[in-house]
Amino acid sequence: MRQLFKPFVPLYAAGLAWKNSRFDRKLSQVRKLSRPVISVGSLSTGGAGKTPVVLALLELLQQHGVMADVLSRGYGRKLAQAIPVDAKGAAAEFGDETLMMARRGWEVFVAPQRYDAGLLAEVKSGAALHLLDDGMQHRQLHRDLEIALLTREDVNDLLLPAGNLREPLENLRRAQVVVLREEEASQLSLAVHHYAPMARRWILRRSLRLEGPKPERALAFCGIARPGDFFTTLKHAGIPLVSQRAFPDHHAYTDAEIASISGRAQQMLCDAVITTEKDAVKLPALMPGMRVAYLDAVFTDPATVWADLQQTLPLQ
């Protein structure tokens, strides 16, 4: 269906090129915070795995005694002012991914403009630096390090509105670091060399963690950008899926949908209803049989990542 929008791709590309050229020529305003900023982003609209990279960076920095906070727009939130994310709050107030990070114990600040979130953070937080979540296209805020994720799906995709790419592959050249998934790194080596030859490469190892006993019959559902990745990962982990259901990214579940999922699981004699950590923050804790699949991520060479950060940023 989206192939029907291919005639509009040149129009989108022209508008994007004009916008980026204004930043390249310093014609558009770029505001700077007092503390260093690391931007984590990608060329695509979603599903590249930006949040796991942010979490991996937070963990690595903490291991070296450097505290960081997270600045985000807070996708789908209803309030307009800049606020710190309350881990006990609701996704409608803060956004699902930002709430998920806060519930892992990290300081997160949200605002329609990340600069405003950063100003609040510099008053409320003692963090030494900021991580800008999904920041590659938010060029209004100065960043000291640009990190871009690249996946195999991105390389084969089209620009909006016919595909999911926000920017063409050649814009990867703005990144000082390109992050690749371990299982795709060798396949994407030539693409990185072609589009971002000067960028350093960090490899990310991802693993699925499902606490408790392994289910015998499971129903899986999610509302993420690339649901197929989630279902495939569960199957590769040996989880027997007898039913699966995908919702749009950042989906807000209704009571009727939750009842439908529970009813389907009961009908299929499932002993587990599995969803993502991102979805779980929007669901009732007492949803029958619900199990959360956590996506953990670490860098395969953390020493090199830390050395690169020290070389680029004023870290103590």
Binding-site entries for ATP: 44-51
Listed in sequence order, the residues at least 6 apart from 140 whose beta carbon sits closer than 8 Å to its beta carbon are 28, 29, 30, 31, 113, 114, 115
CA-wise closest residue to 56 among 131, 154, 138: 131
CA-wise closest residue to 104 among 280, 316, 299: 280
From edge to edge, which strands make up the β-sheet containing 68-72?
83-84, 108-110, 68-72, 129-133, 37-42, 145-149, 177-181, 200-210, 290-299, 272-276, 218-222, 241-246
| Annotated binding-site members | 44-51
Strand pairing of 218-222 and 200-210? unpaired
- Return the DSSP state at 270: -
Euclidean distance between CA atoms 210 and 276, whole angstroms: 10
Q: Determine the Cα angle at 9 with ends 224 and 161, to 5°.
A: 25
Residue corresponding to tokens 């009727």 = 256
